[in-house]
Amino acid sequence: MKNYLFSWISLTCMLLLVVAGINFIIDPYGLFRFIDIDGFNKIKPAAASQGPMGKAYQALRTQPGGLVLGNSRAEMGFDPEYAAWPADTKPVLNLALPGTGTATTENYLQHVIINTENNSASMPKMLILGIDLIDFLIDKERDDAIQKNPHKESRLLNNFDTQSKYKKWPIKFKDYFESTFTLSTLTDSIETILNQNNPYASNLTVQGFNPMQNYKKLAKNEGYNNLFKAKDQANIKILQRLPKNIFDNSGISSSRFKNLQQVLTLCRQHGISVNLVIYPYHARFLESIRFTGHWQDFENLKRAVTQMVEAESQYSSSSLIKLWDFSGFNQYSTEAVPLKGDRKSVTQWYWEAGHFKSELGNKILDRIFASTNTTEEWGVLLTPAMIENHLSTLRAQGDAYRQSHALEVAALAGLASQPPSKR
């Protein structure tokens, strides 16, 4: 009996070690990055769903010179390997995470800073941060309570819970164990190997960028018209559900603005230049904002962030913080959507109304890194002196768009007027 039990335990331990070894080498979530070999394990279909974990540990290894923060629009829109990034910002790490907001942005920035604060040479030089209206819409009656208990990811280094790097080891052990010794991870490892030659496999690169290869297959099968229509419905549903406020009961701030303020303060204290980017929403998304009653919120957000940047800039003689508005009705955002039934035409700048392609993100990076203090139609530097004229110009552009795209606008209006059950 004892020999049988010993043999069973030995066999179990051996199998566990084999599973752990396979998972460690294949690394389906990009947690270890021990090896990344083309055709073997470089493409990681399961990594995107484990972005919060994989990116947290990649930040500890990489010591990036440039950072991208924000939500899914930034994760798939800003390529950290694009040539326009200045030499002193490389390597660039895309730490943007889908479905997250300003609190997560603050947490991940602090995580990077604490990891490098004893080595000024390793401190990031540049941050590009996406500003999204949806992230700032709040219930002003509940926001104060939320701010008192901000969510903190336990694996991240931060000053809020006074935990040092060493006290994070139990959390690291849990992440490492679940990413090596479990059968579910083994399944993901097998899927990783099987998808290496799949041109439409999901992926998250070593620098945290999501190239959205799976969207290409979806567009090929469904057509871009269907992608836009489905996203229009989802956007309107989300915007109708969200409150029409960006400020709490104080009337001048919110937990979201406090997170953003802390990001700017941290960057100023550590010499990190910041480019805040108001996303280049497609015109159909801008119209969805208007139809759901959030246009005034959108303008107020721009005013508030402009004032915040102006106030923060007073602490530094050099202009470390810039606020760019890439929203509006322009040659990019009014890109034509393929007709219904057309599965061959491919859009150049947008996946759908909510997400822009990296090709458009590259245009933004070109504009930012070759910038002077000028204003032009594509990419406007917002300042208190010109903000009202700029907002007025965007309203006029919107009026012109609605006249020239009456059928599309009418369809969006119809979606916005439908009860949720029919939509």
250 or 349, which is more confident: 349
397: confidence class by pLDDT, cuts 50, 70, 90: very high
> Tens digit of pLDDT for each residue in 181-223?
999 999 999 999 999 999 999 999 999 999 999 999 999 999 9
* Residue 286 pLDDT exceeds 90: yes
Whole-model pTM: value is: 0.92
CB 332 within 8 A of CB 280: yes
pLDDT at 149: 40
* Residue 404 pLDDT exceeds 90: yes
> Tens digit of pLDDT for each residue in 379-394?
999 999 999 999 999 9
Average pLDDT, the chain: 89
Give the separation between CA 347 and CA 354, rounded to whole angstroms: 14
Residue that is written with structure tokens 């493409």 in the block: 43
Phi-psi category of 182—alpha, beta or left, where left has phi over 0 and alpha has psi -120 to 50? beta
> Tens digit of pLDDT for each residue in 7-57?
666 776 788 888 889 999 999 999 999 899 999 999 999 998 999 999 999
pLDDT at 271: 92
pLDDT at 340: 92
* Residue 316 pLDDT exceeds 60: yes
The helix (run of H) or strand (run of E) holding residue 24 is helix 2-26
Mean pLDDT throughout 82-89? 95
102: confidence class by pLDDT, cuts 50, 70, 90: very high
Structural Rg of the chain based on CA atoms? 23
376: confidence class by pLDDT, cuts 50, 70, 90: low
> Tens digit of pLDDT for each residue in 113-161?
998 877 777 899 999 999 999 999 998 777 754 444 444 678 898 765 5
> Tens digit of pLDDT for each residue in 46-68?
998 999 999 999 999 988 999 99
Helix 295-313 to helix 387-404 angle, to the nearest 10 degrees? 150
285: confidence class by pLDDT, cuts 50, 70, 90: very high
pLDDT at 120: 73
DSSP string computed for 319-373 = --EEEEE--SSSTTTTPPPPPTT--S---SSEEETTEE-HHHHHHHHHHHHT--S
Neighbours of 266 (CB within 10 A): 17
